[in-house]
Amino acid sequence: MTSAEAKNNIKELTDQINHHNTLYYQKSKPEISDYEFDQLLEKLIKLENEFPELRLPDSPTQRVGGTITKEFATVTHQYPMLSLGNTYSPEELTDFDGRVARGLDGDPYEYFCELKFDGVSISLTYEEGLLTRAVTRGDGVRGDDVTNNIKTIRSLPLRIRSKKIPHRFEVRGEVFLPKDVFKQINKEREDIGEETYANARNTASGTVKMQDSAEVARRKLDCYLYYLLGEDNQVETHSEAMNKLEAWGFKVSPTYRQCKNITEVLAYIQEWEKKRLDLPLDTDGVVIKVNSLEQQERLGFTAKSPRWAISYKYKAESISTRLNGITYQVGRTGAVTPVAELEPVFLAGTTVKRASLHNANEIARLDLRIGDFVFVEKGGEIIPKVTAVDLDKRDSKNKTVKYITHCPECNTALIRKEGEANHYCPNEKGCPPQIKGKIEHFIQRKAMDIDSLGEQTIRQLFELGLVKSPADLYDLKKDDLLKLEKVKEKSAQNMLAGIEQSKIQPFENVLFGIGIRYVGKTVAEKLARYFKTMTALSQASYEQLLEAPEVGEKIAQSVVEFFKDKENLREIARLETSGLQFESIQKEKEKISNHLNDQSFVISGVFQNYERDQLKDTIIANGGKVLSSISGKLNYLLAGDNMGPAKREKAEKLGVKIISEQEFELMLKK
């Protein structure tokens, strides 16, 4: 393919992908399947790799991430990002309205109301229609440049296609995690034995500052835009600015409303107090702005906030109900979670009977006693939570809760590791919910994807003694499945076909599916790519595991302990005998140059512009070799930050040349 042909193909693919991206993420009217969309993206990635000089600055491939940012540059905002004054009182809103009226000397005015989203404020700069910078609020005067991470948000335009746009303008909005995405992230963390995140807002904030933009892309952040700034925007009101943002392709929440007076503002606030709970993201109030930009300018600012806007905060609905008891749930990893059993109460649109108490520390902090009346809130949270004890109603006879010492399912003594908040049941091979949980984890979509089975089927198979580990699934016969309730000939055949089909799942899915604690989907992919085979991984030392990307001490120790266990090794052997994929199948990287021919490297430490697996690919693509240990035959030790002193000492002793990341890049250019 010639360069001219590639250029045309890249433009055509880019236009197609942008079109389908807009249909899916902004208009919710997809025309093609996810698979077809991914195929278009793969074609574009391949073309850009072959012709990197033709990659467009707004290429959709930027949305999949891959850039590593070790430090985020500090940027001074052109327009300070001031905070708003807050109120919880309709009376104070009326006072605000009075101040506006006096400030405008009796001139007529109107308001613009929009919901206040519970996320992370972001400022986006566009030049000649192209997104050039994304900066966090920071202290209001300076924020962090997080452009690479923000580009992964698929609902956000990387280039404005409209012809009538200012040379330079700024857009502000709120980055957030949708409720369903946050719930899924927590489910996955719970599934691998990690503590769950407290709320979507803090999780979104942490995600925006992640170093690996590919991981940010996996988190599926979203963004609503609500403010247009610039010298040449040609708008006279905030409502006109919002209309322009929508016309230019920005995602704007459809919940806003123009209000003629403070009475209509109060009606809007009342209307959305309940309705907001059905939105796909958390909200905590309403922002009220004077609509006219000229009037905003006349009203001006105080030292901390604009005089033309105010935030009305909804009070988190809280209600007192009786704590009837505490039950304890055991998860796949053995983590024990206490749950408050409540006298049923109607709260924020649903009847609440139970609320998570998280761990023993939380029970002690609240000083809970069975029979207490407790305050329960939902607020912006997905799961109800107990916030405090209603001490005015406490009966002195109520006894302090003593946390259980033994597993409620198998009666094994619980353990609590140093530095961890949760208690664990160590009987992973004999505790029923742990056994069933491991099998359910194994069959899930991100692992072996056996959708013909399900939670109820696994429960029945376990209770009948037919399945006690994932490997048992591959020994099932049709007669076994016909013993299950409501399972007929056709259903049994579908189940067996699904089990057989799972054998084609790639090695990284198998690795995730076997359920090593702390090894989530992303880490499983990194380990599979780094070690290539189950055998190599199972034989890796603690030190070798630490060399793999994304692997810290906790994960490395967990992997070592897993493969030390003889029962786990027997299970792995059975899965291999059943025909599962135990080797990473990757295409050989195309050779780019001979710059590193016959040169060998050991990679150690953390790097500014690369992950270690990216460095490995780059070395191989340029003719070099990557070794795992230092010897006298080694040519180079490629040293990043935080490299272990033992490696440096050994390299110096053997006369191996130690090079930096910058020196390595110079070698590639020669």
From CA 549, how far away is CA 640, in angstroms rounded?
Answer: 13
Q: Which two tokens stand for residue 629?
A: 């240990």
113: part of which helix (H) or strand (E)? Answer: strand 111-117
Q: Which residues contact 425 (CB under 8 A, 6 or more apart)?
A: 330, 334, 336, 407, 409, 410, 412, 414, 415, 431, 434
The helix, strand and coil proportions of the chain, stated in percent and rounded to the nearest 5, come to 40, 20, 40
From CA 82, how far away is CA 174, in angstroms rounded?
Answer: 14
In 3D, which of 189, 196, 191, 194 has the Cα closest to residue 438? 191
From CA 157, how far away is CA 632, in angstroms rounded?
Answer: 53
Which among 11, 43, 46, 116 is annotated as catalytic?
116
- Tokens 């335009």 belong to 157
From CA 414, how far away is CA 330, in angstroms rounded?
Answer: 11
CA dihedral 255, 257, 262, 268 (to 10 degrees): -30
Q: Rounded to 5 degrees, what are φ and ψ at 630?
A: -90, 130
Taking phi first (over 0 means left), then psi (-120 to 50 degrees means alpha), and beta for anything else, what does residue 450 get? beta
- Tokens 């069959």 belong to 443
116 assigned to active site: yes
Taking phi first (over 0 means left), then psi (-120 to 50 degrees means alpha), and beta for anything else, what does residue 187 get? alpha
Angle, alpha carbons 431-435-437 (nearest 5°): 120
In 3D, which of 80, 87, 77, 81 has the Cα closest to residue 287? 87
Q: Which two tokens stand for residue 310?
A: 């105010």
Using N-to-C axis directions, what is the helix angle for 553-564 and 566-577, rounded to 10°? Answer: 80
Q: In DSSP terms, which residues pair with 606 in a beta bridge? A: 641
From CA 441, how far away is CA 429, in angstroms rounded?
Answer: 15
In 3D, which of 596, 440, 574, 579 has the Cα closest to residue 501? 579
Give catalytic residues, as residue numbers: 116
